[in-house]
A and B are shown apart, each in its own frame.
Chain A
Amino acid sequence: MIASTGKDSAITSAYMAQIGPSHPALKEPVMFTFELDGERVVSADFAPGMAHRGVEWAGTRRNAIQTLYLAERICGICGITHSVSYARAIEQIAGIEVPARAHYIRSIVGELERIHSHLLWAGVAAHELGFDSLFFLTWKVRERVMDVLEYLCGNRVHYGIMQIGGANRDITPDQYPTVLEALDYFEQHFGQLAKLFLEDDSIRIRCRDCGVLTKQEALELCAVGPTARASGVAKDVRQDHPYAAYADVEVKAITPDQFTGEVHGDVFDRIIVRLYEVKQSIDLTRIFIENMPPAGPILAEEKMPKLLALIRKAEGEAIGRHEAPRGEVLHYLKLNKNVQPEVWKVRAPSYNNYMPWIPMLEGEQIADIPIIVASIDPCISCCDRVAFVRGDRKDIVTKEDLHRMSVAKQRKIQHG
């Protein structure tokens, strides 16, 4: 566990310490190696890849409709996100027109999922700070979101409501009151949570100016989602490239300067952004329910064998995007007149948000490591799908190697 830093160990007081792959601060396996000087982090490095399951490989070996459910299982929290972006990719290739009502269903469930994910994150962040009362309070509210999702979808996790060309289940008018009632409950508790998170001085002294990511760094490292927005980068797929029902409403990316007048890019700003996104999602869900199109079809093709036949005829490639609670999800898909997808590549938001960890962590204290790591809301299992290529037993891949590998893969994609 503890090792000297090599030849200079007699001179420098720095020492190496590992956190992970399994550690109480980490909810999923990832390994950090820190060079520490007393309580201060001199340099940080991380090694993901501990939760690899080969999802994409499995996805190209079953038919496209089965793969939709596999896509949902990439992540436990953002099931809707992955299934919608996968479905959107297929719909683009096969030219399937999604009915208007299905667009609204997708948006409503997606926003409820965002409320769920952000509340879950807020609880975890409170726990990392040693503030367990807030953790219990937040998860009490989260329980209600799960109840609503269970009421709408039939499942508490992995909702299974999305389908290629629409949605599996309708949200009927007799279900609106329950959802609206729950939204009122969230609104009520949002005020309480905002007060407890943003006015509490013990949270403020821990999070203010801790784990700073400047706007410049956020842009250079391609951070996405709340991590980028907290650094002042106003980017949101729902605002920039509206999909589903978002084109009918005005969605504005939430940045901390809208509430505090300044952007720090620290952990506290990430808390502000996530909390106010909960509020935004509550409002959006209410708008969607009020403006739901009249009852009609919710699936472009209700018979699954016909849908599969449609996919079998399709050829081409497409990218499906979705604003996940953690940022932009990207599904690249290639169909080649077959029931199975030819190529399937998923880029989860946490993949972009990994790199900002390093500028955030350097120079901070050991005590801040858990909250900084948690502050990007890392979803390790979202990212760890691809096996690390170790053909010639090389553990470190240089930039040239990576470039060569990417060119080779690109060729394979282009020429089949």
Chain B
Amino acid sequence: MGNVLLILFGTLAVAAFGIITGLVFLGVDRILVARMQARIGPPWQQPFFDFFKLMSKENVIPRNSIPWLFNLAPLLALASSIVLLLYLPIGSFPALLAAHGDLILIVYLLIVPALAMVVGGFASSSPYATIGAQREMVTMISYELPLATIAVAYAWKLGQAGVAHPFALSSITANPIWGLVGPVGLAGAVLLLLVLIVVTPGELSRIPFDTPEAETELAGGLLVEYSGRNFALFYLALGVKSIVMAALVVALFFPWNVSDFIALPTVAARIADLAFWLLKIEVVIFFAASLIRISLARLRINHVVSLYWKYLGAVGFLALALLMIDGMIA
């Protein structure tokens, strides 16, 4: 009973935390992007203002749409993004549902927010949204392969190192990959990090992989018919999803905490770890989302597919091979 209550309140706390930090980091992202483009940019609270403004707007539902599906999609996107956060460690707090899922589940769950957007796009029955939804599906399928190679490479390495439950995220964070590998494997691990960094903007539908939304081509693509409350929910989902992707990168590649190195009283250690975790998240978001999205032109959908399938898939397999060679040498 106590466990159920803990999960219940924990979920609420994680949801609130995820939404608020998501919006804050969206604001920080906008300021940093503005500064890099020689602009002043909005105040950091701007995403909050945007959210409240959107909530006060009329929620338009197109006549040709399937209303229940159209309204369900944003909820699904937000809920699944929050669920993802429950499986990821935050600071030195272990993941709330660590006992109930592993890396494979996370890779699967990552599809759900994207799938919700596809459902919403098809349900809105606009041709722009339909094209956007088709593109989102194609993008989704193409970044699955590199993502899967990361999961496989990790589990293989941990399994080979003799760690119990190699797919569990707790054993991954407890045994950072950098400590397990030799020089050849190090190169493989760096390549894996690169793959995950490039998958992140695709997962978040940010430029150069924002073909499903493509403002100048599809006028917003699969979000074109969304407004008001529904759009606000998608906006929140974007914020939470950014945190999720960054948290995944941090959990896989940078799981260290301040308290591992400096002895601190329990409460102070928790706070210091959380602050350090937020810093790591911001660094990852800066390089994986903010910097990439303003330094490239938008790719065509065939470029996206060939980049993810051919090149990143090849890089993923190369990294896997390097890790294996490393295992053989050792």
Residues of A within 8 A of B (CB): 1-2, 15, 17, 23-25, 38-39, 126-133, 136-137, 140, 200, 202-203, 205-206, 365-370
Judge whether A202 and B299 touch: CB under 8 Å: yes
How big is the B interface, by class? 20 to 34
21 A–B pairs (Cβ distance < 8 Å), ordered by A: A1-B128, A2-B130, A17-B127, A23-B219, A24-B216, A24-B219, A38-B134, A126-B297, A129-B216, A130-B207, A130-B216, A131-B297, A200-B297, A202-B299, A205-B299, A205-B300, A206-B300, A365-B301, A366-B218, A367-B217, A367-B298
A39 nearest in chain B by CB position:
B301
Which of A130, A133, A202, A370 lies in contact with B37, CB distance below 8 A? A133
Q: Which residues of B (207-228) have their CB < 8 Å from a CB of A?
A: 207-208, 210-211, 214-219
Judge whether A130 and B297 touch: CB under 8 Å: yes
- Hey, which chain A residues are within 8 Å of B296, CB to CB? 131, 202
**B294 in the interface (beta carbon within 8 A):** yes
Binary contact track B291-330/A, C-beta < 8 Å → 1, others 0 = 0001111111111000000000000000000000000000
A125 nearest in chain B by CB position:
B297
Of B39, B134, B294, most buried by chain A (CB within 10 Å of CB) is B294
Judge whether A365 and B210 touch: CB under 8 Å: no
Judge whether B299 and A128 touch: CB under 8 Å: no
- Hey, which chain B residues are within 8 Å of A365, CB to CB? 300-302
**B38 in the interface (beta carbon within 8 A):** yes
CA separation between A130 and B134, bound complex, in Å? 20
- Hey, which chain A residues are within 8 Å of B303, CB to CB? 205
**B275 in the interface (beta carbon within 8 A):** no
Which of A1, A126, A203 lies in contact with B126, CB distance below 8 A? A1
- Hey, which chain A residues are within 8 Å of B298, CB to CB? 129-131, 206, 367
CB contacts between A and B, total, < 8 Å: 77
**B36 in the interface (beta carbon within 8 A):** yes
- Assuming the contacts A365-B300, A366-B131, A367-B300, asked whether A133 and B214 have C-beta atoms less than 8 A apart, the reply is no
Residues of B within 8 A of A (CB): 36-39, 126-128, 130-131, 134, 207-208, 210-211, 214-219, 294-303
- Hey, which chain A residues are within 8 Å of B217, CB to CB? 25, 366-367, 369-370
Judge whether B38 and A137 touch: CB under 8 Å: yes
Distance of A119 from chain B, by nearest CB (Å): 15
CA separation between A140 and B216, bound complex, in Å? 21
- Hey, which chain A residues are within 8 Å of B300, CB to CB? 205-206, 365, 367-368
A200 nearest in chain B by CB position:
B297
Judge whether B208 and A130 touch: CB under 8 Å: yes
- Assuming the contacts A1-B127, A127-B216, A368-B300, asked whether A133 and B294 have C-beta atoms less than 8 A apart, the reply is yes
Distance of A39 from chain B, by nearest CB (Å): 6
Distance of A195 from chain B, by nearest CB (Å): 14
B127 nearest in chain A by CB position:
A2
Known contacts A25-B216, A38-B134; 6 further A-B pairs (Cβ under 8 A): A129-B297, A129-B298, A130-B210, A202-B296, A206-B297, A366-B217
B125 nearest in chain A by CB position:
A2
- Assuming the contacts A133-B36, A136-B37, A136-B39, asked whether A203 and B297 have C-beta atoms less than 8 A apart, the reply is yes
B300 nearest in chain A by CB position:
A367
Distance of A323 from chain B, by nearest CB (Å): 29
- Hey, which chain B residues are within 8 Å of A129, CB to CB? 216, 297-298
Distance of B117 from chain A, by nearest CB (Å): 18
- Hey, which chain A residues are within 8 Å of B294, CB to CB? 132-133
CA separation between A369 and B218, bound complex, in Å? 10
Distance of B206 from chain A, by nearest CB (Å): 10
A22 nearest in chain B by CB position:
B219
